[in-house]
Amino acid sequence: MTAVIKTHLPVFVVAAPLFVSFLLSPMARRFGWVQSLVVGVQGLGLLLAVYLAGMILKSSGVPIIYSMGGWPAPWGIELWTGSLGAFFLLVVAGVTLPISLYAVNNLSDEVGDATRSTRFFVLYLLLAGVLAGMALTNDLFNIFVLVEVATISCCGLVSARRGPNAAKAAFNYLILATLGSGLILGGIGLVYMITGNLNMGFAGIALNGVWQDYPHVVWMAMSFFLVGFGVKAALFPLHVWLPDAHSTAPTPASAILSGLAVKGYIICLVKILFGVFEVHLLDVFRLDQILVLLGMLAILAGSILALAQGELKRRLAFSTVAQVGYIVLGFGLMNIKGVAGTLFYLASHAVIKSTLFLAAGALISATGKTHVKDFAGVGRKMPITMGVFSIASLGLVGIPLFSGFVGKWYLLLGSLEVGNLTAAGVIGIGSVLCAIYLFPIIRTAYFEPAPEDDWQDPGVPQRLALVMLGIAVIGLGVLPGPLLQLAQKAAADLLIIP
Amino acid sequence: MLELGMALFSGVTGALVVASLPKATERLRRAVVLLFSVTGMVFSWRVAIKIFNGGNIGIIAQLGGLTWSLDPDPLGAMFGLIASTLWVFAAIYSFGYMERKTRPQTYYAFFLISLSATLGVAFSGNLLALYFFYELLTLATYPLVIHERSADAVKAGRKYIIYSLSGAAAILIAIVLTYIWSGKIDFASGPILVNTMRPGLNLLLALFVGGFGVKAALMPLHRWLPAAMVAPTPISALLHAVAVVYSGVYGILRVVYSVFGRELMGTLSLARKLPWVAAFTILVGVIIATQQDVLKRRLAYHTISQLSYILLGAFTLQPWGLGGAILHMISYSTLKVTLFFCAGIIAERADETAVSRMQGVGWSLPKTMIAFGVASLGMVGMLPLNTFWSKYYLMRGGVQSGQWSLALVLIGSGIINAICFLPTVVASFQGEKAKSSGETGGNTMLMLGPTLCLAGIALLIGLYPGIVWPGVEAVVNRFF
Amino acid sequence: MKILLGKVLINYPYFAAVILFAIGSATVLTRSNLFKKLIGINIMESAIFLMFIAAGSRRDGVVPILHMDDSLRPYINPLPSALMLTGIVVSVSVTAFALALIVRLYRFYGTTDAKRMSDIRNGVAKE
C-alpha cells in the first residue's frame, strides 16, 4: 500500500489540489468545510513536497520519473521530479499554505459572500495545483495546457473583486496573456515540427542533431518562447498588465500572483530553454547575453517605476517587475553560482513578496487607506503586521541574515565570476533603489504619530500566516542549507554539469 | 570569548531592556543605559588589553551558508576601545540633553543598538561580518538621525540612508570580487590579496575606498554628514564625529592593511593618488568649515577634514604614518566630542547656534567655553594637547614616504584650523554677558561633567602620550 | 524567383498561418473595442492551430487508422490534430471568460470601447 502511494506521489501532489478544487463548488453552503479542506490540502501538499525534496536530496539529485497512465516516455506524458522540480514544488507548497491560511475568514470584504469566496478558493486551488504541475511536468504540450489553466485562474482571481477596475485589469491581463500563450504554442509547434517530439528530454536530443539545418526555426522558436513567457512573467517591457492586475486583485490573490504565478512561468521558460535548447544552443544564439540585458533593464526600470508609485500595492507590484529582472538576469549568467543564486532568489522573493502583499492587504483593510504616506503610526497599532512587513522589506533589500541576501550574494558571485561588473553594479543599484522605495513606508509607520483611530492586527489565522512567512524570511537567510543545496543541484542539472 | 560576547551584546541587550520598559521612570531608564554602556566599555577594555598582550579571541559562525567571524586584532580592539569609552561619556551627556526632549525610549534603545553595531564593526574578523555590522550600523543610527522628526530631519535621514546604502552596495560587490580572486575573506591570515597580481585591482580598491569613503566622509562623498547634523547633539557628537564615521575610516584602514596589504598597495597606481584625495579633503573641508556660521555645521565640515588626517596617515603606508593615524583616532575623537558637547550646551543654555553671535557667551558659560578653547587649541595642534603628537607622527609618516608636501598640507591645515575656531573663543569672552540660563542645574551638570572630563583626558594624553602608546605600538607591529 | 514561388506554394498553409497571426495580433494591439480585441485573439489562435495541423498533414496521406490493405501508405500525423482539439477547448474557454468580463464592463460603463472606458474613469476621478 505504501509502495503504491509512494510511486504515485508525484501525480498525487499535482492532482490533489486540482481534484479538490472541483469538489468545492457544491460545498459552498458549508463554507467552513471549504476553508478547512483548502488549508488541509495545502498542508498535505507541503508535507509531500518536503518529503519529495528530501528524497531528491538524499539520492543527490536522481530524478523520480512518473509516466502517466503507464505509457513510457516518448509516447506518454512524464512527470519528472528532478531537483528543479522538487525545489519549485517546495516553494509553491511552502508559500501557498500561509496564503490560504490568510484567506480564511477574510474574504468577505474583498470578494463577497460564501458563494463568491468558494469560487475564489476554486480558482486558488486550481492555480496552486497547476503551479505544482509546472514544477514537475516534462512535456511541452503539457506546459501549454498548464500555462493556459494558470492564466485563466489568474485572471479569474484578479476579477474576483467586484467593480469595473478589477474587470478591466483582468481583461487586459487576459488579452495580453492569451497573446503570450499564442506565442508559446507557436514555439511549441516549431519545436515539434523540427524534432517530432513533445517530451522535453527527447525533443532536446533530437534538436541537438538537427538544429544546424534549421537555425532560423530554432531562433524563431526561442524568441517565441522568450516573448510569450516574457509577457506572462511580466518581464520588462512586457509588464504593462501587471501593476493593474496585481494591485486590484484581492489580497491573497495579489500575494499568490506576485509571489508564485509569475515564477511558475519563469520556471517553465527555464525548463524549455535549458531542457530543450540546452546551454550549448543558448550560447550559440547569444541568449545568455539577451537575458542578462533584459534582466538589468527590468531591475532599473522596475525599481524606478516603483519609486514613482504612491499607492502601496502598486508600488509592490512594480517591485515585482524589478525582482523578475534579478531572476532573469541570474539565469542569463549561465554558471552554477549564478543559476543557483537566482533559484534561491526566486524562492526568497516568492516568500518575501507574498509576505509584503499580505501585510499590505492587512494594513489597507485595517486602515481603509491605500497611499504609502497614509500609514503613519501603524507600527505601534499593528505590531505584528508591520513587524513582518519590515522583516520582509529588509529581506528584499538584501540585509545580511535575511533570505534576500543569500540569493543576492550568489547572484553577485555568479555575475562577477563571468566578469560582468555591469550586472553586479546593477544588482547593487537595485538594492539601493529597493531601500528607497520601501524604507519610507517603514519610517512613516514607526516614526510618525498615529491618528486616534482604532486600528488592529488582523485575526488569528492571518497573524499566523504572517508570522509563518516572517519566520521563513529569516529562516531562509540564517539556515538556507537544504534549499540552497537543492538549488545548486538544480543549477547543475540545468547547466548539464555533473 | 566571554569578554567578546559581553562587549558585543551588552548594547543589544540594553536596548531590549529599554524597549521592554515603556513606562519606566526616567531614572530607571538612565540606570539601565548607563549600566549597559559601562558593561560594553569594561568588556571592550578587557578584550583590548588581552589583544594588545598578544592574546587571541575568536568566534566563528556558519550562518546563511557563509562564514561570519569575530576575531579582533589590535586595530579592531583599538577602535572598539575608543568607541565604547566615548559611548559612556555620550550616555551621561545624553541624560542631561534629553531631559527636555521627547521620545527618550526610542532614543536610548537605538543609542544602545548602535553601540553593539559599532563594536561589531570593530571586532569583525572577516569582510562579511564587517559588512553585516556596517549595514546594521546604518540602520540602527537612522532613527537617531531623524529623531527630531522635522522635515529637515527626514530629508537628512533620507540622504544618509541613500549615501550609506550605496556605499554598502559598492562594498558588497568589492567583497565578492575579493572572494572570487583570492578565495578567502578573513583578516587573520595576513593580507587577503597578498599574492594576487591581476588587472582590476585598482578598480577593486576604488570600490572599497568609495564604499567606505561614504561613511568616512571622503570628499566628494561627504554631503550626508553636514545634513545629518539635525540629529540631537550627543548623536552628532558620537555618531557623526566618532562611531559612524570611524567605522568608515576603520573600513578603509582594514582594506589598506588587511585586504590589500601595504606591499600590494605600494604597487597600485590608484594607491599613490589616494594621499592626495585625503589631502584635498583636509584642506577643502576645513576651508568650507571656516565659512559656516552655524556652529554644528562648522564642526561637521571640520570633522570631514580631520577624518582625512587619519586616512592620510594610513595611505602613506609607513609605520610612522599608521602610528600617527591611530594616535589621531584616539586624540581627535576626545577633542571632537568635547567640541560637540560644548556646542550642545551653548545651544541648550544660551540658545545660540550661530558662530557670529557668540559674543559674551563665554562670560555666562565660562567652563563650557574654556573646554571649547582647549579643544580648539588641540585642533590646531598645540603642544600640551594630544593632537600635537598625532600630527607630529603623521608628518613623519608623510616625510618617510617621501612626500614632503603632505607635511606642508598638515601644517597649512593647522593654521586654517586656528582661523576656524580661535576667533570664536576669543569673541565669546568679549562684549557684554549674553543672555543665558547659566551653567547651574542638574541636567547641565550631567552635560558639563563629561565635557570637562574629556577635555581633561585630552590634556592628560597630551602630557603623557606614553599611556596610549602600547596600544598604538601593538597596531603598528601587527602590520609592519 | 520560380523556386521561391514554388516554396511558397508548397508551404502555403504556413504562409497563411503567418498572415493570419499578423492580422490577429495587429487587431489585438491596435483596436480599442474589446470585442475586436477578442476576435483578434481568436484569429491569432486559429493561425497557430493551422500551423500545427499543417505540420502534421501530408499530401496523399491517409487517415491514421490501421487498415490491413494499405498499412504501408503514409498517413497523416494524428497528434497535432489531437493537440489542437485541446487548444480549441482552451481558446473557447478563454473566449467565454473574456466575454463574461466584457459584459461586466459594459454594465458599468455602457460601452465596449477601451478608450471611452478610460475617459469615463478619468472623468470620474476628476469629479
Following DSSP, what letter does each residue of A427-461 receive, concatenated?
A: HHHHHHHHHHHHHHHHHHHHHSPPPS-------HH
User: Which of A247, A491, A464, A137 shows the shortest CA–CA distance to A347?
Assistant: A491
Other Cβ atoms within 10 Å of C123 Cβ, number: 9
The span from the CA of B339 to the CA of B309, in Å, is 18
**Which residues are CB-neighbours of B436 under 8 A, at least 6 positions away?**
B349, B350, B351, B361, B364, B365
Residue A328 CB burial class (10 angstroms; 0-12, 13-18, ≥19) = buried
* Alpha helix ranges (H) inside B291-385: 295-315, 319-345, 361-364, 366-380
User: Does residue A2 carry a pLDDT above 90?
Assistant: no
pLDDT > 70? residue C41: yes
Q: Report pLDDT digits (tens) over B53-70.
A: 877 888 888 877 788 888
Q: Which amino acid is at A450?
A: A
Chain centroid to CA A105: how far?
25
Say if residue B100's pLDDT is above 80.
Answer: no
Closest CB to A167: pick one of C37, C80, C104: C104
Distance CA C48, CA A182 (A): 7
Residue of chain A nearest B155, judged by CA positions: A440
C-alpha span between A38 and B161 (Å, rounded)? 43
Cβ separation of A141 and C52 shorter than 8 Å?
Answer: no
Between CA C69 and CA C61 the distance in angstroms is: 15
Q: Could you give the CA distance from residue B329 to residue B74 in angstroms, rounded to a whole number?
A: 14
Cell numbers representing residue B239 in the block: 555618531
| Phi, psi (deg, nearest 5) at residue B422 | -60, -40
Are residues C93 and A152, on separate chains, in Cβ contact within 8 Å? yes
- Which residues are CB-neighbours of A421 under 8 A, at least 6 positions away? A415, B173, B203
Which positions in chain A touch B132 (Cβ < 8 Å)? Answer: 400-401
In sequence order, what DSSP letters do the residues of A289-322 get, joined into one string? HHHHHHHHHHHHHHHHHHHH--BHHHHHHHHHHH
Identify whether the C-beta of residue B294 lies closer than 8 Å to the C-beta of residue B354.
yes
- Angle formed by the axes of helices B269-290 and B295-315, nearest 10°: 160
Q: Is the pTM of this model over 0.95?
A: no
Question: CA A377, A383, A387, A389 torsion: positive or negative?
Answer: negative
Q: Of B205, B478, B125, give the one whose Cα is nearest residue B323.
A: B478
Give the Cα separation of B448 and B456 in Å (integer).
Answer: 12
Domain ranges for chain C, please list them. Answer: 2-64+73-126
CA nearest to A85, candidates A101, A66, A113: A66
Q: Do B66 and A409 touch (CB under 8 A)?
A: yes
Structure confidence by residue, pLDDT tens digits, B2-36: 888 888 888 888 888 888 887 777 788 888 888 88
Instruction: Count H helices and E strands in chain A, helices first.
Output: 22, 2
pLDDT given at position B30: 86
pLDDT of residue A478: 87
Nearest CA in chain B to A401: B64
Give the range among A32-41, B124-133, C55-64, C108-117 with minimum mean pLDDT: C55-64
DSSP states of C38-69 as a string? Answer: HHHHHHHHHHHHHHHHHHH--TT-B-SS--SS
Instruction: Report how far apart, in Å, the C-alpha atoms of A336 and of each of A84, A402, A495, B53 are.
Output: 13, 22, 7, 45
Q: What is the pLDDT of residue A344?
A: 93
Mean residue pLDDT of chain B comes to 84
DSSP-assigned beta bridge partners for residue A139? A199
Report the alpha-carbon distance of residue C80 to residue C52 in Å, rounded: 6
Tens of pLDDT, residue by residue over B242-272, are 788 889 999 998 888 888 888 888 888 888 8
Choose from B165, B171, B201, B214 for mutation: most chain A CBs within 10 A: B165
pLDDT above 60 (res B154): yes
**Quick one: cell of B399?**
616625510
Q: What is the pLDDT of residue A348?
A: 93
Q: Name residues whose C-beta falls within 8 Å of residue A167's C-beta, 6 or more positions apart in sequence.
A: A159, C101, C104, C105, C108
Q: Find chains touching chain A: ≥3 CB pairs under 8 Å.
A: B, C
Q: What is the pLDDT of residue A325?
A: 93
Instruction: Say if residue A450's pLDDT is above 60.
Output: yes
Crossing angle of helices B366-380/B386-400, nearest 10°?
Answer: 10
Q: In whole angstroms, what is the distance from residue C7 CA to residue C10 CA? A: 5
Tens of pLDDT, residue by residue over A300-323, are: 999 999 999 888 999 999 999 999
Q: Which residues contact A184 (CB under 8 A, 6 or more apart)?
A: A143, A144, A147, A224, A225, A228, A229
Task: Kindly give the pairing relationship between strand B59-63 and strand A78-81.
Answer: unpaired
Cell output for A235: 518581464
- For residue A237, say if its preceding peptide bond is cis, omega within 30 degrees of 0: yes
| Residue B382, phi then psi, degrees to nearest 5 | -75, 160
Per-residue model confidence (pLDDT) at position C124: 62
Taking CB atoms and an 8 Å limit, are C86 and A141 in contact across chains? yes
Residues of C with Cβ-Cβ distance to A192 under 8 angstroms: 52, 55, 80
Report how far residue B273's alpha carbon sits from residue B201's, in angstroms, rounded to the nearest whole number.
14
Query: In chain A, what percentage of residues exceed pLDDT 90?
Result: 41
Tell me which long-range contacts B198-207 makes (C-beta under 8 A, separation of at least 24).
B201/B260, B201/B264, B201/B268, B202/B268, B202/B269, B202/B270, B203/A421, B204/B174, B204/B177, B204/B178, B205/B255, B205/B260, B205/B265, B205/B268, B205/B270, B205/B271, B206/B270, B207/B170, B207/B171, B207/B173, B207/B174, B207/B177
- Domain residue spans in chain B? 292-480
Q: A-chain residues within 8 Å CB-CB of C37?
A: 175
Mean residue pLDDT of chain A comes to 89
Residue to test with chain C: of A179, A198, A227, most C Cβ within 10 A = A179
Where does residue C113 fall: left (phi above 0), alpha (psi -120 to 50 degrees), or beta otherwise? beta
Mean pLDDT in residue range A79-108: 89
| Residues A451-469 pLDDT 10s | 777 788 888 888 999 999 9
* Alpha-carbon span B478 to B189, nearest angstrom: 11
Whether the per-residue pLDDT at A498 is higher than 80: the answer is no
Q: If you ran DSSP here, which 8-state letter would residue A67 be given? A: E
Query: If you ran DSSP here, which 8-state letter would residue B354 be given?
Result: B
Confidence of residue A425 (pLDDT cuts 50, 70, 90): very high
Residue B376: CB partners within 8 Å, gap ≥ 6? B339, B417, B421, B422, B424, B425
Question: What does chain A come to in residues?
Answer: 498
User: How far, in Å, CA of A133 to CA of A260, rounded?
Assistant: 13
Interface residue ranges in chain A relative to chain C, Cβ cutoff 8 Å: 141, 144-145, 148, 151-152, 155-156, 159, 163-165, 167-168, 170-171, 174-175, 178-179, 181-182, 185-186, 189, 192-193, 198
* Chain C residues touching residue A168 (CB < 8 angstroms): 105, 117, 121
* Highest mean pLDDT: which range of A75-84, A128-137, B471-480: A128-137
- pLDDT at position A73 is 76
> What's the rounded Cα separation, in Å, for the pair B47 and B322?
22
> B63: nearest CA in chain A?
A478
In the DSSP assignment, the letter for residue A69 is G
C and B interact (at least 3 Cβ pairs within 8 A)? no
Give the 3-state DSSP-derived string for A338-370, with helices as H, strands as E and coil as C.
HHHHHHHHHHHHHHHHHHHHHHHHHHHHHHCCC
Q: Are B391 and B325 in contact (CB under 8 A)?
A: no
DSSP secondary structure code for residue B435 in this structure: P
From CA B439, how far away is CA A464, in angstroms rounded?
A: 55
Question: Phi-psi category of B54—alpha, beta or left, where left has phi over 0 and alpha has psi -120 to 50?
Answer: left
Q: Confidence class of residue B435 from pLDDT cuts 50, 70 and 90?
A: low
Q: Which residues of C touch A155 (CB under 8 A)?
A: 97, 101
**Burial class of residue C122 (count of CB atoms within 10 Å of its CB; 0-12, 13-18, 19+):** exposed
- Predicted confidence band of residue B433 (pLDDT cuts 50, 70, 90): low
Residue matched to cell numbers 482552451: C90
Of chain B, the percentage scoring pLDDT greater than 70 comes to 97
As a residue count, chain C comes to: 127
If one counts every other C-beta atom within 10 angstroms of the C-beta of residue B276, the result is 15
**Side chain identity, residue B238:** L
Coil, helix or strand at residue A75: coil
Backbone angles phi, psi at A30, to 5 degrees: -100, 75
Indicate whether A31 pLDDT > 60.
yes
Cα–Cα distance, A400 to A478 (Å, whole number): 9
Q: Cα–Cα distance between B292 and A13 in angstroms, integer?
A: 70
| B464 contact partners, CB below 8 Å, separation of at least 6 | none
Beta-ladder partners of A384: none
pLDDT over threshold 70, residue B40 = yes
What are A155-164's pLDDT values in tens digits?
A: 999 988 887 8
Query: What's the confidence (pLDDT) of residue B442?
Result: 54
Asked if C13 has any chain A CB less than 8 Å from its own CB, the reply is no
CATH number of C2-64+73-126, picked from 1.20.210.10, 1.10.287.3510, 3.50.30.10, 3.40.50.720: 1.10.287.3510
Cβ separation of C52 and A155 shorter than 8 Å?
no
- C near A: at least 3 beta-carbon pairs less than 8 Å apart: yes
